[in-house]
């Protein structure tokens, strides 16, 4: 099931990349699945939680950097 969800999200991201032709927006990369796990003590098979991370790349000519602060 996780593979199907990941493929669906990647298809949606592809459409978003195509429709957002703006060069100043961060670039959506393919989703990365972190697998599934059961939530709670008495979780059933239907209660699996899947986490997908969608990495972002900076737009051309830009870069991301961390700012130190409180």
Is the sign of the CA dihedral 10, 3, 50, 58 positive or negative? negative
Give bridge partners of residue 32 from the DSSP assignment.
53
Return the domain boundaries, the chain. Answer: 3-36+49-57
Taking only the tens place, the pLDDT of each residue in 7-55 is: 888 888 888 878 877 667 788 888 888 765 555 545 455 666 778 888 8
Strands 32-38 and 48-53: antiparallel
- 52 neighbors 31 (Cβ within 8 angstroms): yes
Q: Is the pTM of this model over 0.75?
A: no
**Cα gap 64→5, rounded to integer Å:** 28
CA dihedral over 28, 34, 51, 33, signed as positive or negative: positive
């Amino acid at each position: 099931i996780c593979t199907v969800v990941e493929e669906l999200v990647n298809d949606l991201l592809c459409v978003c990349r195509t429709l957002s032709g703006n060069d100043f927006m961060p670039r959506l990369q393919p989703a990365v699945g972190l697998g599934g796990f059961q939530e709670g003590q008495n979780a059933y098979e239907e209660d699996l939680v899947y986490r997908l991370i969608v990495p972002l790349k900076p737009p051309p000519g830009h870069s991301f950097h961390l700012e130190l602060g409180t």
